[in-house]
Chain A
């Protein structure tokens, strides 16, 4: 491993370790996930006429969990700014690019590591796996997590107030998750309102949810004829927020905008 990648690896490793130090949060999120499956999922699926809605919901829940966990990196940035740790990170013998890229990867990877076992639970509940499709879906979830992490970093460095970030994340979560196919099929959203349907089709959470269902063999419900479109959507989302995030973060750091 070269010194360059070694430093990048250390930044990634730091973010992963840091996340797992928040034990209370991790346990609570895990409990929330399981309760959503065994309470809400089981009960709601009895009220819904969509075939296999329970499996459908569990797959969407996994993506929602991945999304909300990958967002935590933005909160970490505020926490670090508040405790002065950001100044410390900037004083280290690590280049700005390594620092920024490392944080983006770390934020996504730790979400993936954390949600991985929960996805395992989801797979057990869904019960069907097409190995090849699943590998592709798994890879796109990986990119999705990095994209969300990059998005969180981008917003965190643009908005200087942690309170505003908190509120904006709440609003974004409401809009992005609810205007997606994480909880309900696209056809039903389109029936409710064609405009909502249009937005839902372009939502990265929809791309990730649909691909995950396709990977786990639930494509009958989502009628996903061509997985390439959501796959490209995820790649575009990942590329935009990873690279735009890096550029904005880099500029903010050099310009002292974090102060």
Chain B
């Protein structure tokens, strides 16, 4: 069931459309990855959903409420962790998380326990009375994430949640976001880290120049790239042209290269289904395999396939 339905949502700044007729449904209980380079329109779309800025055109329904007609009710369902931590330099992690918990309606007893629990889990308890001025970028980001974790909103929006955070911290936050989802929250994950989106998202939507290019599960998106899966096979014998022709008979095989006489590189679709059949064929032809290496396409490849640009190129100016 869709918990968010976005219809023709548009935001223009002057002559520039930051978000251009966005149509999208987000299912209850999923982690939805909103992917795109900087400037693609992710943050603007999020701010409109959170009723922080008004759309120029179109609207969205969050829960059962229209963002234009019932912004107060929409905000009661949402929690947002911003891309850039939003905090004054004189504030401390304790002040920030404690205030957020209060506004979100946690009782005094619950609040004190949970603030400690969450700051502890994010390794920020020790620094709870330091002013933001004295915190590193990664620490500020953790405090920003702590707001969502303490609020446990029905719909959590996290914008670049692990930017500036070290690898160990990243995994910890990913785990916490998955737990949040498992406890019933729907999560919108806006990110330009394609690996992060791949690991966490149940479904992914790619935004480019304010428009939704494609939206599906990461697996289906990867499978949609013709010949996106690659396998490198090393054989104990030289491969003949006849063997290559036999391999081309598989409809999943898109292309075959032979870098060395006993090496093959196959570009194919649905690697999991076709590899056992290829192995059987090679066994039948008495061609023992000495090694095999598989690689499937990443969301980077998906992004490049649909936009014609790498994410780095899009980031530099293509967005």
Contact = CB atoms under 8 A, between A and B. Distances in A.
Interface stretch (B46-54, B215-223, B242-250): B46-54
Given A92-B103, A256-B54, A85 B87 contact: yes
A94 B51 CA distance: 12
Contacts of B50: 91
A22 interface: yes
A84 B104 CA distance: 20
Q: Categorize the interface residue count of chain A.
A: 20 to 34
B52 A93 contact: no
Among B51, B88, B102, B104, the most chain A Cβ lie within 10 Å of the Cβ of B88
B76 interface: yes
Nearest to B95: A17
B103 A91 contact: no
Among A3, A14, A92, A256, the most chain B Cβ lie within 10 Å of the Cβ of A92
B90 interface: yes
A259 interface: yes
Interface stretch (B77-85, B173-181, B182-190): B77-85
Contacts of B89: 83
A22 B76 CA distance: 31
B313 interface: no
Interface string A77-90: 00110011101101
Given A10-B99, A93-B75, A87 B52 contact: yes
B86 A88 contact: yes
Contacts of A22: 90
A259 B53 contact: yes
Contacts of A178: none
Contacts of B72: 93, 95-96
Interface residues of B, number: 27
Interface in A49-106: 79-80, 83-85, 87-88, 90-96
B280 interface: no
B37 to A, nearest CB: 21
B108 interface: no
Among B71, B75, B78, B80, the most chain A Cβ lie within 10 Å of the Cβ of B75
A38 interface: no
Interface string A14-32: 1001100110000000000
A84 B84 CA distance: 8
A255 B54 contact: yes
A166 interface: no
Contacts of B80: 91
Contact of A83 (B51, B86, B95, B104): B86
A91 B75 contact: yes
Nearest to B56: A256
Interface of A: 3, 7, 10, 14, 17-18, 21-22, 79-80, 83-85, 87-88, 90-96, 254-256, 259
Q: Give the 8 A-B CB pairs with smallest separation, nearest first.
A: A88-B86, A84-B86, A21-B90, A93-B76, A90-B52, A91-B50, A93-B75, A95-B72
Given A18-B91, A83-B87, 13 more contacts: A10-B102, A84-B84, A87-B52, A87-B82, A91-B75, A92-B104, A93-B75, A93-B76, A93-B104, A96-B72, A254-B54, A255-B54, A256-B54
